[in-house]
Amino acid sequence: MQDSLDNLPYWSRDADDLMAAQGSAHDGLASAEAARRLLQHGPNAVEDRDEQTALRLLLRQFESPLVLILVFGAGVSLWLRQWVDAGIILAIVLGSALLGFAQEYRASVAIAALRRRLALTVQAWRDGAQVTIPAADVVPGDVVQLAAGSLVPADGVILEGVDFLVTEASLTGESFPVEKRPGVLPADTPLAARSNMVFLGTSVRSGTARMLVIQTGRGTEFGAIAARLKAREPETEFARGVRQFGYLLVRIMIVMVVFVLMVNQALGRPLIESLLYAVALAVGISPELLPAIVSVTLSRGARTLASRGVIVRRLEAIENLGSMDVLCTDKTGTLTEGVITLVAAVDAAGADSATVQRLAWLNAANETGIANPLDAAIVAAGERAGLQTGDAIKIDEIPYDFHRKRLTIVVAEHDAPGRHRLITKGAYAQVLDVCSSLAVDGSERALDDMQRERLDAYFRRCGEDGYRVLAVATRVLEARPTYSHADECDLCLTGFLLFSDPPKPDAARTIRNLARLGCRTKIISGDNRYVTAHLADSIGLDPQAMLTGPQIAQLTDESLWHLAERTDLFVEVDPQQKERIVHALQRTGHAVGYLGDGINDAAALHAADVGISVEGAVDVARDSADVVLLKSDLGVLRTGVEEGRRTFANTLKYISITTSANFGNMVSMALATPLLPFLPLAAKQILLNNFLSDLPSIAISTDRVDREHITRVQRWNVAEVRRFMLVFGLISSAFDLLTFFVLLKVFDVGEGLFQTSWFVVSVLTELAVVLVLRTRHVAWRSAPSRLLLGATIAVTLTALILPYIPGVAAAFSFTPPGAALLVTLLVIVLGYVVSTEVGKLLFFRRHALPQRRRHAAAPDA
Residues with a known catalytic role? 330
3-state secondary structure of 369: coil
Cα atoms in the 13 Å half-sphere on the side-chain side of 694? 27
350: left (phi over 0), alpha (psi -120 to 50) or beta: left
Compute the distance between CA of residue 679 and CA of residue 466 in angstroms, rounded to an integer: 78
Residues 6+ apart with CB under 8 A from 634: 327, 329, 334, 335, 507, 510, 511, 514, 521, 595
Q: Which long-range contacts (CB under 8 A, 24 or more apart) does 502-505 make?
A: 502/336, 502/337, 502/466, 503/335, 503/336, 503/337, 503/535, 503/538, 503/539, 504/335, 504/336, 504/337
Using alpha carbons, select from 443, 424, 9 the residue that is nearest to residue 186. 9
Residues 6+ apart with CB under 8 A from 493: 348, 431, 432, 435, 437, 438, 439, 447, 455, 471, 472, 473
Residues 6+ apart with CB under 8 A from 764: 796, 799, 800, 825, 826, 829
Residue type, 512: R
Residue pair 20/6 in contact by the 8 Å Cβ criterion: no
Residue pair 343/498 in contact by the 8 Å Cβ criterion: yes
- H or E stretch at 764: helix 751-773
Compute the distance between CA of residue 609 and CA of residue 618 in angstroms, rounded to an integer: 20
Compute the distance between CA of residue 784 and CA of residue 704 in angstroms, rounded to an integer: 6
Question: Could you tell me the maximum CA-CA distance found in the chain, to the nearest angstrom?
Answer: 115
Instruction: Report H helices in 118-229.
Output: 169-172, 221-229
548, β-bridge pairs: 571
Q: Detail the DSSP E strand segments found in 314-446.
A: 326-329, 341-347, 393-398, 406-412, 419-427, 435-440, 443-446
Compute the distance between CA of residue 200 and CA of residue 45 in angstroms, rounded to an integer: 10
3-state secondary structure of 196: coil
Compute the distance between CA of residue 402 and CA of residue 775 in angstroms, rounded to an integer: 51
- What is the full DSSP assignment across 505-565? TTHHHHHHHHHHTT-EEEEE-SS-HHHHHHHHHHHT--TTSEEEHHHHHHS-HHHHHHHHT
Convert 555-611 into a string of H (helix), E (strand) and C (coil): CCHHHHHHHHCCCCEEECCCHHHHHHHHHHHHHCCCCEEEECCCHHHHHHHHHCCEE
- H or E stretch at 124: strand 121-126
Q: Are strands 393-398 and 406-412 parallel, antiparallel or unpaired?
A: antiparallel
472, β-bridge pairs: 425, 495
Q: In whole angstroms, how far apart are CA 382 and each of 342, 352, 356, 357, 574? A: 10, 14, 11, 7, 30
Compute the distance between CA of residue 759 and CA of residue 817 in angstroms, rounded to an integer: 11
Residues 6+ apart with CB under 8 A from 563: 547, 555
Residue pair 577/607 in contact by the 8 Å Cβ criterion: no
Compute the distance between CA of residue 689 and CA of residue 727 in angstroms, rounded to an integer: 21
- H or E stretch at 68: helix 65-79
Q: In whole angstroms, how far apart are CA 279 and each of 14, 763, 849? A: 69, 19, 39
